């Protein structure tokens, strides 16, 4: 059995037998930065879980620009919607991935959970479906916040909110005094996720640094004034 499978929220708390069954249908894929996972409109195979690394979900606009909608980290799932949207019908051909996805870190690992097989499991186990409900609800909440931020806030506020969020992620899991955040991605991806231009992001980070609130070194950010950062993001 894959050693990471239990750490994926929707599969936690399942009995061994079921976990074995799921382990039997999944496929692991190793990727490097820039490796594609699926393309927009490609036939739907199933959904994914990130085991290691970082994955971006993005769309390409008419003028060829890339726009990142989500960034998915370890033990989070993505692309479940096509599977869940239509659990009754089995007309598999019509299902397509609704966006593109790509690894944005080297040695990223993802797990494919094939749609057909998983649908059967889902229909027979209420626990999984309850877990998935809870997972989707959390995602909804996260997206609500994202929408809120995109409409309510200017680039500086959005950037501060992002850094703050990363900071909290780190301090939550490791109780070390280390306030150093690693972005794990380049300026281009971060700018796209924050809905701004690379140049604007660069200037914004520069401003936050010259104000003594953060210290930027390449892809690392050291938070110096947590209070001020929080103040900016929610003013």
Partner DNA sequence: CGTAACCTTGATTAAGATCAATTCTCGTGG
Partner DNA sequence: CCACGAGAATTGATCTTAATCAAGGTTACG
Q: Which residues bind its own copies (CB under 8 A)?
A: 59, 61-62, 67, 69, 80-87, 98-99, 122-123, 126, 129-130, 132-134, 136-141, 143-144, 146-148, 150-152, 195, 234-235
Nearer to its own copies, 151 or 174 (CB): 151
Compute the half-sphere exposure of residue 72: CA atoms within 13 Å on the CB side of its CA: 28
25 binds, among DNA, its own copies, none (CB under 5 to 8 A by kind): none
From the list DNA, its own copies, none, partner contacted by residue 152 (C-beta under 5 to 8 A by kind): its own copies
Check: CB of residue 93 under 8 Å from CB of residue 86.
no
Question: Minimum CB separation from DNA for residue 14, in Å?
Answer: 40
Q: Please, are residues 79 and 48 in contact by the beta-carbon 8 Å criterion?
A: yes
Dihedral sign for Cα atoms in the order 206, 208, 210, 213: negative
Of its own copies, DNA, none, which one sits near residue 212, judging by CB under 5 to 8 A according to partner kind?
none
Residue 146, binding choice from its own copies, DNA, none, Cβ under 5 to 8 Å by partner class: its own copies
How far does the chain reach from its first CA to its final CA, in angstroms? 48
d(CA 53, CA 102): 11
Structure tokens at 151: 């409409």
Q: Is residue 129 near DNA by the rule CB under 7 A?
A: no
Q: Measured from the CB of residue 210, what is the shortest distance to DNA in angstroms? A: 8
Query: What tokens does 40 get?
Result: 């927009």
Structural tokens at position 129 = 């479906």
Given its own copies, DNA, none, residue 7, with its beta carbon under 5 to 8 Å by kind, binds none
Residue 218 binding DNA, by CB under 7 A: yes
Binding window for DNA (CB under 7 A); candidates: 39-47, 82-90, 117-125, 202-210? 202-210
Taking residues 133 to 162 in sequence order and writing x for each that binds DNA by CB under 7 A, - otherwise, the string is ---------------------xxx------
Q: Is 233 in the site for DNA (CB under 7 A)?
A: no
> Residue 189: which of 16, 33, 45 has the closest Cα?
33
Q: Dihedral sign, CA of 99, 56, 9, 163?
A: negative
Q: From CA 89, how far away is CA 205, in angstroms rounded?
A: 49
**Closest CB to DNA among 76 and 204?**
204
The DSSP secondary-structure symbol of 53 reads S
Of residues 180 through 199, those in contact with DNA by CB under 7 A are 186-188, 195-199
Q: How far is CA 16 from the centre of its chain?
A: 27
Quick check: 21 binds DNA (CB under 7 A)? no
Residues that bind DNA (CB under 7 A): 154-156, 186-188, 195-203, 205-206, 216, 218-219
């Amino acid at each position: 059995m894959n050693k990471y499978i239990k750490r994926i929220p929707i599969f936690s708390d399942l009995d061994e037998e079921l976990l074995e069954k799921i382990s039997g249908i999944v496929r692991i894929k190793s990727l490097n930065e820039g490796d594609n996972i699926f393309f927009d409109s490609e036939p739907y195979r199933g959904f994914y879980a990130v085991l290691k690394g970082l994955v971006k979900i993005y769309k390409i606009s008419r003028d060829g620009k890339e726009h990142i909608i989500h960034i998915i980290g370890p033990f989070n799932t993505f692309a479940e919607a096509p599977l869940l949207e239509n659990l009754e019908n089995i007309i598999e051909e019509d299902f397509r991935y609704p966006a593109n996805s790509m690894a944005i870190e080297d040695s990223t690992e993802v797990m494919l959970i094939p749609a057909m097989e998983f649908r059967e499991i889902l229909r027979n186990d209420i626990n999984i479906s309850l877990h998935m409900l809870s997972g989707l609800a959390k995602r909804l909440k996260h997206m609500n916040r994202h929408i809120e931020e995109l409409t309510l806030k200017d680039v500086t506020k959005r950037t501060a909110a992002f850094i703050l969020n990363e900071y909290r992620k780190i301090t939550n899991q490791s109780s070390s005094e280390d306030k150093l955040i690693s972005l794990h991605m380049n300026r281009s991806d971060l700018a796209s996720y924050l809905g701004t231009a690379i140049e604007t992001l660069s200037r914004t980070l520069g401003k936050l640094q010259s104000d003594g609130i953060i210290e930027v070194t390449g892809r690392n950010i050291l938070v110096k004034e947590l209070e001020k950062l929080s103040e900016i993001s929610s003013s």
